[in-house]
Amino acid sequence: MTSDSAKSREFKPGSDTPRVTEPMSDFGSDDRTVPEQIPRTYVAALDAMLGRPFKVLDDGFVRVLDYMGDDGAIVQAARISYGAGTKQIHQDRGLIRYLMRHAHTTPFEMCDIKFHLRVPMDTWRQYVRHRTASINEYSTRYSVAIDAAQQTPPDQWRAQSTLNRQGSGGTLPVEVGEKLSAAERALQDEARRVYEGRLAAGVAREQARKDLPLSTYTEAYWKINLHNLLHFLDLRMDDHAQEEIRAYARVIGEEIVAAWVPIVWEAFLDYRRRALHLSGIEAELIHLINTNDRAAAMAAAERHGLLTRRRDGSLARNRERAELEAKLAALGLTAPWV
């Protein structure tokens, strides 16, 4: 008989209610002097793409070098008292969705993946802001810089957003873009010529590199666990992220993670990427709007500082209000102040 203190808690899919279960024996054997052969995780879809470069931008790529874990590893970590094969796939799916829905993140940390990236330096700066990854980058101090720089097609020069200081808003006319692209190529060629001239003159590589443009490609190994990778994808696949990093995030998420952990990917899309998150203020206002209490909704919006007005009586810009209006539109509702 197992004592209550030796028992563990396990989530019962469908009910979202934990129930008590019996623990498994260590490594499946009572004889701890006999080592057990534990098969390595094998995901056929991911193994088939190991080392295969996925093209990103004009000369970048992402490829998988190695990985550890799969959907089953997450389930096993959550049900530490269970061995393999004790649950059906629909029950595993229910547990993974429960974990994602309630932000129980530790089991997702049991999976790791290592990438080889080729990425422009300005985009790479956004990768290294995610300090939860292990990184080893190609060194232009020890080696000659990669002779490649990202080039922008004439129809892809983006205009500065008038609403977001760090964002884009539409594209410039192609005739303008043609001039910009020609100037870009000339600048990159000249920077490379100067760099190689310095090297030929005997300048140290660590100093010769200082005027290379941020469009120069670099390469790196980037290893990260699944929990932190999903956080990276949630931020970098967002419509507000810079287009270049979004291109990398889309490839990693849609081509690689979706094949590696398909049940996790489904839950991630459902509860993170496509979910609608509401603040307490937003929930209050949506309730009032949904009950057709326009006056109360207006009063609540005023009280929460969403309807500040200019001297001419028009509404002043308010980012929180704009985000609420977008959520209302997604729900088929209209703000009473619009």
Whether 13 shows a pLDDT value over 50: the answer reads no
Amino acid at 254: E
CA 211 – CA 140 distance, rounded (Å): 12
Task: Give this prediction's pTM.
Answer: 0.84
**263 and 325 together in one domain:** no
Please choose, from the candidates 319, 324, 316, 329, the residue with its C-alpha nearest in 3D space to the C-alpha of residue 284: 324
Residue 78 half-sphere exposure, CB side, CA atoms within 13 Å? 29
Which amino acids are annotated catalytic?
236
For residue 301, what pLDDT is reported? Answer: 97
Let me know if residue 62 belongs to a domain: no
For residue 146, what pLDDT is reported? Answer: 98
Let me know if residue 123 belongs to a domain: yes
CA 256 – CA 263 distance, rounded (Å): 13
**268 and 317 together in one domain:** no
Tell me, what CATH number does 170's domain have? 3.30.1360.170
**80 and 125 together in one domain:** no
**179 and 266 together in one domain:** yes
Please choose, from the candidates 110, 119, 250, 102, the residue with its C-alpha nearest in 3D space to the C-alpha of residue 258: 250
* Tokens coding 1: 């008989």
Q: How many CB atoms lie within 10 A of CB 311?
A: 6
**257 and 120 together in one domain:** yes
Which of 110, 140, 170 is a domain's end point?
110
More confident residue, 323 or 32: 323
CA-based Rg of the chain, rounded to a whole angstrom? 26
Let me know if residue 213 belongs to a domain: yes
**162 and 259 together in one domain:** yes
**199 and 223 together in one domain:** yes
* Tokens coding 100: 């994602």
Whether 145 shows a pLDDT value over 60: the answer reads yes
The tally of domains found in the chain comes to: 3
CB 217 within 8 A of CB 59: yes
Let me know if residue 59 belongs to a domain: no
Inter-helix orientation angle 319-330/280-290, to 10°: 50
Let me know if residue 61 belongs to a domain: no
Read off the pLDDT band of 14 (50, 70, 90).
very low
**91 and 132 together in one domain:** no
CB 147 within 8 A of CB 118: no
Which of 90, 110, 130 is a domain's end point?
110
**75 and 186 together in one domain:** no
**229 and 194 together in one domain:** yes
Which of 85, 110, 135 is a domain's end point?
110
CA 217 – CA 210 distance, rounded (Å): 14
- Would you give the end-to-end CA distance of the chain in angstroms? 67
For residue 165, what pLDDT is reported? Answer: 73
- Helix (DSSP H) and strand (DSSP E) numbers for the chain: 13, 9
Which percentage of the chain shows pLDDT scores above 70? 88
For residue 79, what pLDDT is reported? Answer: 86
Q: Which domain holds residue 314?
A: 280-330
Residue found by looking up tokens 């997702």 in the block: 108
More confident residue, 9 or 171: 171
Whether 307 shows a pLDDT value over 50: the answer reads yes
Q: Which residues contact 274 (CB under 8 A, 6 or more apart)?
A: none
Let me know if residue 99 belongs to a domain: yes
Min mean pLDDT across 47-51, 99-103, 128-132, 261-265 is at 128-132
CA 248 – CA 237 distance, rounded (Å): 9
Residues 301-306: contacts with CB under 8 Å, at least 24 apart: 301/336, 301/337, 306/281
**138 and 238 together in one domain:** yes
**323 and 188 together in one domain:** no
Let me know if residue 21 belongs to a domain: yes
Read off the pLDDT band of 83 (50, 70, 90).
low
For residue 207, what pLDDT is reported? Answer: 98
Q: Which residues contact 284 (CB under 8 A, 6 or more apart)?
A: 300
Let me know if residue 156 belongs to a domain: yes
